[in-house]
Amino acid sequence: MDLVGHVSWGFMRMLLVLVLAPVLWRTLPSAASPEVEMAGRTQSVFQNDNATINCKIPGSPQLDIRIMGVTWFRKNQVKDTESKVFEFFGNHQEAFRPGAAVFPWKLKRGDASLQLPGVQLKEAGQYRCEVVITPNKLQGTVWLQVVARPVCGLIQDPATVKNNEEIHIVCKASGFYPQDINITWTKWTPENPQSAEISEDVRTGPPVKNEDGSYNVTSDLRLKSSLEPSVTVQCEIKHISLSTSERLNLTLPGIESQKLRIWKIALPCVVGLIIFIVLLLYFGWKRCRHRSAKLDRDTY
C-alpha cells in the first residue's frame, strides 16, 4: 500500500508540473526571447571578496520553485569545458563549489543569482545560468573578471651607492592581477618644481607570476646624485584594479646636502677633540712646569 501511494504521488506531481508549467510560463517572456537577464557581458570582483553573479528572469511573477530548476556552470579557460557550480531542483540543492548558493526566497521572485564567497583568481571565466520551468528553458552567460590590487613600495637601495655618486631606487608592485600594469617615473627639485618624466636610467622587468596566479613587477631607477643638490622622485603605478593611480614619493639629498649633514654631525666631534687636545697639552705643560720649579728648589 505504501509503494502504491508513493507511485501515485509521484505521478500526480508530474501531472501537476505538466499542467501548471504552461500556465505559469504565459506570464513570462515568450520563447522567442530565450535569455535571462545578466549584468552585462562582464562582471568584476576583487580577489577574496564575495561575488553575486546576476541572473534574473525578466517580468517574472511569484514563482513556484517546486516546479523549476536552476543550474550554474563555469567554463574552464584552459580546457574549454563546462563544469557545474551549483544546481537546484525542487527540494534538491547541491553546491559543487564550496559556499556557492542560490537563495530560494529570491528565486521565488525570479532572482536566480549565484552567490560565491571569497572568490579567487582561478575562478575567473564564463558562467552560464540555466533556468528550467518545464517544458521551457532560459539561459544566459556572463564573464566573471577577478582582479587583485597591487601592494606598492618605494625604497632606496644603499648597497648600490658608489662613492656617493649613484643612487639606486626600487619601485615594487606585488600581488596584482591581471598582469597588465604601467609604471612611470618623474622627478622635481626645489629650484624646478615642475615635474619631468624620467625615461633614461630606468629598467622595468617583466611581470613574474606567483603560485596563486597573481604577479609581481620591479622597476629600477639609477640617478647621479651630483646632478642636483636635492631631488624628489615619484613612482606612479597604474592598474585596472586601482580607481586612481598609486603615487609614491621619495626625497633624496644631493651631494652638497649630504656633505652638509655629515659636517653638522662631525663638527661637534671635531670641536670636542680640539678642546680635549688643548686641555691635555695645558695640563701636561702645567705639570712639567711644576716639576721644573720643584727641581730648582731642590738644587738650591
Domain assignment of residue 269, given as a range: 261-287
Q: Is residue 8 part of a domain?
A: no
Phi, psi of 118 (to 5 degrees): 55, 60
State the chain's mean pLDDT as an integer.
80
pLDDT higher for 183 or 285? 183
Shared domain for 118 and 216, answered yes or no, is: no
Q: What is the pTM of this model?
A: 0.67
The number of folded domains in the chain is 3
Q: Please say whether the dihedral angle defined by the alpha carbons of residues 253, 255, 260 and 262, taken in this order, is positive or negative.
A: positive
Of 63-67, 71-75, 225-229, which gets the smallest average pLDDT?
225-229
DSSP reduced 3-state for 1: coil
Shared domain for 132 and 235, answered yes or no, is: no
Shared domain for 69 and 161, answered yes or no, is: no
pLDDT higher for 134 or 227? 134
**What is the reported pLDDT for 13?**
44
pLDDT digits over 80-130, tens only? 789 999 999 988 899 999 999 999 999 999 999 999 999 999 999 999 999
Q: Is residue 3 part of a domain?
A: no
Q: Is residue 206 part of a domain?
A: yes
Q: Which residues contact 206 (CB under 8 A, 6 or more apart)?
A: 217
